[in-house]
Amino acid sequence: MAAPPQDSLRHETVAFGIAGVSLTQVERAAPADEAPPLAPNADLAQIGKPARRWNGEEKVTGAARFTGDIDLPRLLHARLLRAPLPHARIGAIDASAAERHPGVRAVHVILGPQGGGTASVSADEDVQATRRIEQPVALYAGMAVAAVAAVTPEAAEQGVRLIAVDWRPLPFVVDMDDARAAGAPVVFEKLDVQAGFGASGLVAAGLPLVGNVRGPAADARGDATTGFAAADVVVEGEYRTQAQSHCCMEPHGVVADWRADGLTVYISTQYTAGVREELARAFGLPLNRVRVVVDAMGGGFGSKATLGYYGLAAAALSRKAGAPVRLVLDRQEEQVDSGYRPATWQRLRIGARRDGSLSAISLLSYGSAGTALGAGVGNVASRLYACANYEESHYDVLINSGPGCAMRAPGAVPGAFALEQAIDELAEKLGMDPIALRDRIDASPARREERRIGAERIGWSRRHAPGADKGPIKTGLGMAQSLWGANVQINSACEVRVLRDGSVEVRSSVQDIGTGTGTVLAQVVAEELGLRAQDVRVRIGDTDFPEGPGSGGSRATASITPPARNAACKVRRHLCALAAPILGVEADDLGARGGRIVSRSDPKRAMAFREAAAKMRTEQFVAIASRADDYAGFRSRAGDSAAALNDIGGVQFAAVTVDTETGLVRVERVVAAHDCGRPINPKQIESQVHGGVMQGLGYALMEERILDRQTGRVVNADLDRYKMPGVHEAPEIDVLLIENYQGFSATDAYGVAEPATIPTAPAIANAIYNAIGVRLRALPMNRAATLAALAARRT
Amino acid sequence: MHRSVKGEISRGAMSRRSFLRGTGAAAAATAALESALSGAADAAGDVAGPQIVGPDATPVTLRVNGMVQAVAIEPRATLAEVLRGPLGLTGTKIGCDRGACSACTVLIDGAPVASCSILAIDVGDRAITTIEGLARDGALHPVQEAFIAHDALQCGYCTPGLALSCAALLDRVPHPSEAEVKAAISGHLCRCGAYQHVVEAVLAAAAAGRG
């Protein structure tokens, strides 16, 4: 992309560095129409303050409208027919009896003889793996085969039962190790792969497929062989991580309303604008005939980023039936067929010189996202620590289970589980403290400060030697680090409007999935207009408004708050221009604070914000702004996605007790030190970090989606046998937040959701090692695993 | 506090899987059934003997948030389904539909109950409080206020059930210990991980009530 002409740039001095540690200023060239540089949080009125969640009252009173709560006149209810077998050819489908059922209004065959016999593996638009076959094939137990819309949910269920399918069972494989073996049943004889984003990262086209194993996807720099030869110390370990289910409390759901003048879809989604694109493409509709809406959204964690097979089915049913259709997955469907974090196996080898500097890293990984691709382990091994010689090879293993998908920090979570244990192991071999080693090999100033304040808070200096406690209950301290890209979606836009009575709205299609995006938008706009956050009405989650980013990759805050501030700045300038002649000053001399338009040179010259708005010639003034490039440029960009020059860090410390008689691991305390550029709402950030820690803790100690090798089915497709943490498993969590200014954008704010879950499991694993002197390299680290590891040490 | 707890719910009446067949069910279920059927034309008969209701819609009267509501429902309908459907009280959320997550919690005579796991016809004339009925006269319940102040929620899907369990706790134990708060919400699953803020909020609401 060509650089903007110099006269459209403005040179500004902006805050840079860590508040209270290294705060200074740097010069940046910002686009001329950007809002002026923002002072550090200490000097601001709304940003950096714990404003109340914008929709908190709706959420505590039950007024918040979730997708499944939406009722429309003539609403139909849909249910899905799902494959009963893990791998089976469909001889024939007969839906005529279902169609004759008096309550049934439409039947839509998803997996039928269609399109020249090409069965699409996944409805997701990203990585399409297709299989050329004579007849359609169900690739996993629970795969959606057909959808029925009826006047009641019960009639839809009866309709589903009336669909006759001639199933021809095929051999199947649901275990990653079994699937790698010679002679294993083959899931895909052939794969047509378009490059794109898979379950946990980018998937390349054109890699070889041998049996069920696709790859290698390789990366390298320097020469690892030479690097290992130069090493004084080498550690090597094999690590295994399990499939983790998202377990959104609100199941995936959609209400599709197809009408002659256009399609409106209410959907529990992380990306309204993306779903609109998918719908327009799927049904050949222009964008101005498709509207996607989400109000309250009950959690996504990566699993609600796309339209999905269920969304597509609901829209198809609505078109067929000529009536709105609601399709909400039940809990079993949710646990079987709405994605999961892929399982992985890694062999990681690290070489270091005596001073701790790394000489080589070699990583081999296999991962399985079932019938999807891209089950990699992220880039933490490649990028968290300085190392000139690096090599990695990754293979995807296909099995007969539902497609995995992105889950909170995809790739980095299993990647960090291996890397951060290996670094601790290395520290021990080198006779160094784990923090001292990281101080030696980690260049990030943010993480250096986070290690310092976290260590102090957890009482790191009291950490004992591994297994030093007497008695059956052992205590331990551990820590681990996070690395996540500061992602930006650069086509993000936002609108701010002021009405003649001085009331203000912020509008964007960006959605609030529980992270508090609406609150931070209100704070940013209020700051710029000299108002309070609660004065700004937030209208988001609707593609009738300017297109905002997806809530994924921790990118929403970084993408949408700068345009919100820039749009608000245009509104402020408009009102200042109206007020200037009345106050007898130049417009440039006016600012907005405390609900007033005030002269900087003569604060007595002022008028109420409301009064200035009343001077508008028309009923409202509307300003739209879009995300400018980061002032210092991006590290990388591809399409609408870019990554800032600076990463997001994070360091977590865990204090555990291990009962060596029962195997029970309890996490007593977690200190989570994090950065996300300029924090906008510290309270909401604290909440989000709690969530990252709890999901990381569940991953570490108990969660596991289990497939039965005999039947190919998920055996714990519910919330009682799938173990996730409740309040009794919750440790005391201390969140420490630093302000890490970079001077990259009008708000300089970035996300925190994903960095907050990356280091939890390895911090717990390192703490367990410190407690019992045995390293657990497989997840989950439940009682059986802990007892087995202790027993293995004794023999 | 807003209201007092009136006794425990009979657990025997609460499983939708102990369905009505033969009505060999517990006496409590029969009692609930009688009350549900009072006024039903086809309910006349030997009260002591087996009764068959359904499968078609049956008239039922429910006391919800201080209002008496008459609805015609299939006997198989759970309380959660009836609240969300015919009564339009969608603040009650269904998370798992089998009593594992507590998202659907409502209060019956002041005690928290998983509304997905009780049939609506088994409720009888006991008083149901849903999240829509927790605030009174336009004023939020102290637990609701505290949930907002302490940011004890993120996506908010588990929040109605949690708020009701916490309100019931404060009704029963005005000044609970941290352990008592944790025990009261131990059946609730929150995937956003709001537990710590929930506990802080409830303790703060209790402390505010002390003054």
Q: When comparing pLDDT for A404 and B1, which is higher?
A: A404
Q: In this complex, do B98 and A720 lie within 8 Å of one another by their Cβ atoms?
A: yes
Q: At what angle do helices B195-210 and B142-149 cross, to 10 degrees?
A: 130
Which two tokens mark A722? 């799938």
Q: Which member of B88, B155, B193 has the closest CB to residue A250?
A: B155
The percent of residues above 90 in pLDDT, for chain B, comes to 71
Query: Is the peptide bond prior to B59 cis by the omega test (within 30 degrees of 0)?
Result: no
The pLDDT value recorded for residue B19 is 40
Q: At B184, phi and psi to the nearest 5?
A: -70, -30
Average pLDDT, chain B: 84
pLDDT 10s digits, B144-167: 999 999 999 999 999 999 999 999
Residues of B in contact with A62 (CB under 8 A): 89-92, 130-132, 160
Q: At what angle do helices A445-458 and A434-441 cross, to 10 degrees?
A: 170
Of residues A613, A619, A617, A585, the one with CA closest to residue A599: A585
Length of chain A in terms of residues written: 795
Residues of B in contact with A756 (CB under 8 A): none
The alpha carbon of residue B47 is apart from the nearest alpha carbon of chain A, in Å, by: 30
Considering chain A, tell me which residue range(s) the CATH 3.30.365.10 domain(s) occupy: 7-28+444-484+646-795, 38-66+487-643
Q: What are the start-end ranges of the E strands in A660-717? A: 665-675
pLDDT at B32 over 90: no
DSSP of A700-756, one letter per residue? HHT----B-TTT-SBTT-STTTS----GGGPPEEEEEEE-EE---SSS-B---TTTT
DSSP of A111-134, one letter per residue? SSS-GGGEEES-S-SSS-EEEE-S
The alpha carbon of residue B170 is apart from the nearest alpha carbon of chain A, in Å, by: 16
Question: Chain A within 8 Å of B24 (Cβ-Cβ)?
Answer: no
Only one residue has tokens 């996506």, namely: B155
* Contact call for residues B157 and B103 (beta carbons, < 8 A): yes
- Mean pLDDT of all residues in A103-114: 84
Q: What are the start-end ranges of the E strands in A83-232? A: 88-94, 104-109, 118-120, 129-132, 137-138, 144-150, 164-169, 192-193, 196-197, 202-203, 209-210, 213-221
The pLDDT value recorded for residue A453 is 98
Q: Which residues contact A706 (CB under 8 A, 6 or more apart)?
A: A714, A715, A716
The pLDDT value recorded for residue A794 is 76
Alpha helices in A352-444 (DSSP H): 380-383, 412-430, 434-441
3-state secondary structure of A273: helix
* Contact call for residues A386 and A359 (beta carbons, < 8 A): no
pLDDT 10s digits, A619-645: 999 999 999 999 999 999 999 999 999
Q: At A250, phi and psi to the nearest 5?
A: -90, 120
Per residue, what are the HEC states of A661-704?
CCCCEEEEEEEEEEECECCCCHHHHHHHHHHHHHHHHHHHHCCC
Residue of chain A minimizing CA distance to B198: A727
The alpha carbon of residue B41 is apart from the nearest alpha carbon of chain A, in Å, by: 25
- Mean pLDDT of all residues in A384-400: 97
- In whole angstroms, give the CA distance from residue A602 to residue A581: 14
DSSP of A620-633, one letter per residue? EEEEEEEPPPPTT-
pLDDT at A118 over 70: no
* Contact call for residues B60 and B70 (beta carbons, < 8 A): yes
Query: Is the peptide bond prior to B86 cis by the omega test (within 30 degrees of 0)?
Result: no
- Name residue A167's beta-bridge partners: A90
- Mean pLDDT of all residues in A309-323: 97
Length of chain B in terms of residues written: 211
Q: Which residues contact A594 (CB under 8 A, 6 or more apart)?
A: A45, A530
pLDDT 10s digits, A60-99: 999 999 999 999 999 999 999 999 999 999 988 999 999 9
- In whole angstroms, give the CA distance from residue A178 to residue B160: 45
What is the number of CB-based contacts under 8 A between chain A and chain B?
A: 165
* First vs last C-alpha separation in chain A: 63
Q: In this complex, do A60 and B188 lie within 8 Å of one another by their Cβ atoms?
A: no
CATH of A7-28+444-484+646-795, one of 3.40.50.300, 1.10.1040.10, 3.40.50.2300, 3.30.365.10: 3.30.365.10
DSSP for residue A654:
E
- In whole angstroms, give the CA distance from residue A132 to residue A189: 8
Would you place residue B50 in the very low, low, confident or very high pLDDT band (cuts 50, 70, 90)? confident
The pLDDT value recorded for residue B51 is 79
The pLDDT value recorded for residue B39 is 43
CA distances from A747 to A37, A356, B119, B144 (A): 8, 38, 52, 32
pLDDT at B197 over 80: yes
Q: In this complex, do A724 and B191 lie within 8 Å of one another by their Cβ atoms?
A: yes
* Contact call for residues A338 and A327 (beta carbons, < 8 A): no
Q: Which residues contact A225 (CB under 8 A, 6 or more apart)?
A: A360
The alpha carbon of residue A280 is apart from the nearest alpha carbon of chain B, in Å, by: 28
Q: In this complex, do A61 and B144 lie within 8 Å of one another by their Cβ atoms?
A: yes
Q: At what angle do helices A783-794 and A760-772 cross, to 10 degrees?
A: 40
pLDDT at A129 over 90: no
Q: In this complex, do A66 and B93 lie within 8 Å of one another by their Cβ atoms?
A: yes
The residue of B105, B155, B185 whose CB has the most chain A CBs within 10 angstroms, and thus the best one to mutate to test that interface, is: B155
Count the alpha carbons within 13 Å of A81 in the hemisphere toward its beta carbon: 25
Residues of A in contact with B91 (CB under 8 A): 61-63
Question: Chain A within 8 Å of B202 (Cβ-Cβ)?
Answer: no
DSSP for residue A230:
T
CATH of A38-66+487-643, one of 3.30.70.260, 3.30.365.10, 3.90.226.10, 3.20.20.120: 3.30.365.10
- In whole angstroms, give the CA distance from residue A293 to residue A542: 4
Of residues A311, A386, A394, the one with CA closest to residue A346: A394
Q: Which member of B84, B151, B155 has the closest CB to residue A249?
A: B155
Q: In this complex, do A730 and B196 lie within 8 Å of one another by their Cβ atoms?
A: yes
Q: At what angle do helices B195-210 and B159-172 cross, to 10 degrees?
A: 40
Which two tokens mark A402? 């539902």
Residue of chain B minimizing CA distance to A722: B100
- In whole angstroms, give the CA distance from residue A268 to residue A297: 6
- In whole angstroms, give the CA distance from residue B93 to residue B102: 9
The pLDDT value recorded for residue B2 is 39
Torsion angle of alpha carbons A406, A407, A409, A414, nearest 10°? Answer: -100
- Go through the domains of chain B in sequence order and give each one's CATH number: 11-133 (3.10.20.30), 142-210 (1.10.150.120)
* Contact call for residues A118 and A688 (beta carbons, < 8 A): no
- In whole angstroms, give the CA distance from residue A574 to residue A567: 11
pLDDT 10s digits, B106-127: 999 999 999 999 999 999 999 9
Question: Chain A within 8 Å of B114 (Cβ-Cβ)?
Answer: no
Would you place residue A6 in the very low, low, confident or very high pLDDT band (cuts 50, 70, 90)? low
Query: Is the peptide bond prior to A216 cis by the omega test (within 30 degrees of 0)?
Result: yes
Q: Which residues contact B197 (CB under 8 A, 6 or more apart)?
A: A686, A687, A690, B150, B151, B152, B153
The alpha carbon of residue A250 is apart from the nearest alpha carbon of chain B, in Å, by: 6
pLDDT at B18 over 60: no
The percent of residues above 70 in pLDDT, for chain A, comes to 96
Average pLDDT, chain A: 95
Residue of chain B minimizing CA distance to A330: B96
pLDDT 10s digits, A350-363: 999 999 999 999 99
- In whole angstroms, give the CA distance from residue B27 to residue B31: 6
